[in-house]
Structure 1
């Protein structure tokens, strides 16, 4: 069924929100994808794309695999994927110049807004998991949350001239964080010491560094996105439980009251501009609540009226039992 121009513009906007989120340490683009209702579809389309490219690179030169590659590619929602990627690239380039300075100049207020956004986002994977959780699922989410809490508390470092192999390796890990809600790709760059040099290269259009980073990102996606695709298709409920734990643990990195003037990640009691900070937390929470309500109502409209082009919701019902 055909989709309207408005649908594609909405996909570009969602991609833009993901790209903006990924340049800020502690904020996950995967969280944005989850909240805006496109996470499953994005991972599944990316997974089929990776499989198709792999078949083209390995089987076709040997005289086989053309039909298999074409079959995989037909399952990719290419207009949707290209719209999201276009929004991500443009927003990342813009945010590197606009959002990052804002975070550096006003960290407490900026992270207060992000804290509210992610706090409200906890409802999304929890509700998508289906029926009530068992004690074992609560325990699993708790363990994942603790691990995320500890990892996001690691002090940052900085490397002025990173080794090319380090750039490729970190990019591979960071791009996996991009598609994993609750895990920030920028935080991975910060923790491994190449955050500043990476965004300086992006701002300065350092094509050599960008090419190295792109190679690592491609390798990371090629291996990781297929794993995510398989888990979403076969263990959707388990994936939602893990995502809930990741989001909960990642709140540690977004706590507004930290010693921003130093490299310490010590959590502090509320102080300073408390009223405005709390107001921004509530504002971020309300923004996500509004997005969730609109997305759910829109989905209900499409279910009640099948003549309207459907919102991008994959068929995962069989995996939620």
Structure 2
């Protein structure tokens, strides 16, 4: 049951990570395993041997679901982003908005320190600035990665580091960062080609993967220290990131390979918005059920 729950968590994180405007870190925070996720990454480089084993076990379960989710997103769900982008954007809006009361209830002790609300404003502004930097300009501008050069390899490595740092933080979309750098469509296409056994993109994906690992090592200690020592400020900041991400989600259609107009009231789908809340309730129900089942074993 624990394996199934963590695979579902990883699967949901991957779906979020693959969409510009949505963050896998948001999924982790909403479903209540963000601290465990950050701690598990942290102990890989800073923990004892036993803590490293526990961290690896947790991340392996999460990783299985993540890879299944990312593969599904690249091979199957990507087509929905073109044909059903407004329905999906409405779904993500519902998920994000309905999650806010749950987080406020969970972190009510921290949120009593209202002097830290400035960090919420900073979080909102940060996401709005990132979302406003739309590199496509309606033209679908992307970096050509078919012919790898030393400069391009270094560029991909650095961009991967920055993108994974964004993915770790709730509210900031790593996919949006890749889009800003002109790498979102090329990397998604490279993964799709690799899954179809086209190995010519393997070196590019390796460089990207090493950049991701370097970014994780660089950001995790900072995030963990902030959660441990400045939790109230960090929770307000994360809430700000999530509130700001609502604008990023509404702008999501403009980030497609063939850009579409941003979501408006006319293209908003109330049914899928409500389904976002239903989906969130189902995930939290699964979480509560699993924790209840596992409790006697501990």
1:210 corresponds to which of 199, 205, 208 = 205
1:159 alignment partner, SS class: coil
Q: Does 1:120 align with 2:98?
A: yes
Superimposed CA distance per residue, residues 287-312 of structure 1 (whole angstroms, 9 cap, x where no aligned partner): 2244345545765x58xx95344xxx
Quote the offset at 1:71 in angstroms.
5.8
Provide the rounded CA distance (Å) in 2 between the counterparts of 1:257 and 1:269: 12
2:25 corresponds to which of 9, 21, 30 = 30
The alpha-carbon distance between structure 1 residues 133 and 151, as it changes in their structure 2 partners (threshold 3 A), is farther
Q: Identify the residue that residue 178 of structure 1 maps to in structure 2.
A: 167
Contact residue 257 and residue 269 of structure 1 kept, 8 A: no
Quote the offset at 1:174 in angstroms.
1.0
Q: Identify the residue that residue 14 of structure 2 maps to in structure 1.
A: 19
TM-score (norm 1): 0.78
Quote the offset at 1:261 in angstroms.
7.9
Contact residue 113 and residue 232 of structure 2 kept, 8 A: no
Contact residue 171 and residue 213 of structure 1 kept, 8 A: yes
Q: Identify the residue that residue 188 of structure 1 maps to in structure 2.
A: 177
2:142 alignment partner, SS class: coil
What RMSD in Å do the two structures reach over aligned CA positions? 2.7
The alpha-carbon distance between structure 1 residues 298 and 9, as it changes in their structure 2 partners (threshold 3 A), is closer
Q: Does 1:291 align with 2:264?
A: no
Quote the offset at 1:198 in angstroms.
0.3
Q: Does 1:143 align with 2:122?
A: yes
1:37 alignment partner, SS class: coil
Q: Identify the residue that residue 46 of structure 1 maps to in structure 2.
A: 41
Contact residue 134 and residue 180 of structure 2 kept, 8 A: yes
Q: Does 1:222 align with 2:211?
A: no
1:160 corresponds to which of 133, 136, 143 = 143
2:108 alignment partner, SS class: coil
1:77 alignment partner, SS class: helix
The alpha-carbon distance between structure 1 residues 282 and 50, as it changes in their structure 2 partners (threshold 3 A), is same
Unaligned runs of 5+ in 1: 1-5, 53-68, 310-321
Contact residue 92 and residue 273 of structure 2 kept, 8 A: yes
The alpha-carbon distance between structure 1 residues 238 and 263, as it changes in their structure 2 partners (threshold 3 A), is farther
Provide the rounded CA distance (Å) in 1 between the counterparts of 2:264 and 2:62: 39
The alpha-carbon distance between structure 1 residues 260 and 124, as it changes in their structure 2 partners (threshold 3 A), is same
Provide the rounded CA distance (Å) in 2 between the counterparts of 1:278 and 1:213: 38
Provide the rounded CA distance (Å) in 2 between the counterparts of 1:217 and 1:260: 22
Contact residue 252 and residue 262 of structure 2 kept, 8 A: yes
Contact residue 5 and residue 286 of structure 2 kept, 8 A: no
Q: Identify the residue that residue 278 of structure 1 maps to in structure 2.
A: 270
The alpha-carbon distance between structure 1 residues 101 and 141, as it changes in their structure 2 partners (threshold 3 A), is same
Q: Identify the residue that residue 64 of structure 1 maps to in structure 2.
A: none
More divergent stretch after superposition (23-32 vs 148-157): 148-157
Aligned length: 281
Provide the rounded CA distance (Å) in 2 between the counterparts of 1:288 and 1:191: 29
The alpha-carbon distance between structure 1 residues 261 and 165, as it changes in their structure 2 partners (threshold 3 A), is closer
Q: Does 1:9 align with 2:1?
A: no
1:122 alignment partner, SS class: helix
Quote the offset at 1:27 in angstroms.
1.2
1:104 corresponds to which of 82, 105, 112 = 82
The alpha-carbon distance between structure 1 residues 51 and 259, as it changes in their structure 2 partners (threshold 3 A), is closer
Bigger radius of gyration among the two: 1
Q: Identify the residue that residue 56 of structure 1 maps to in structure 2.
A: none
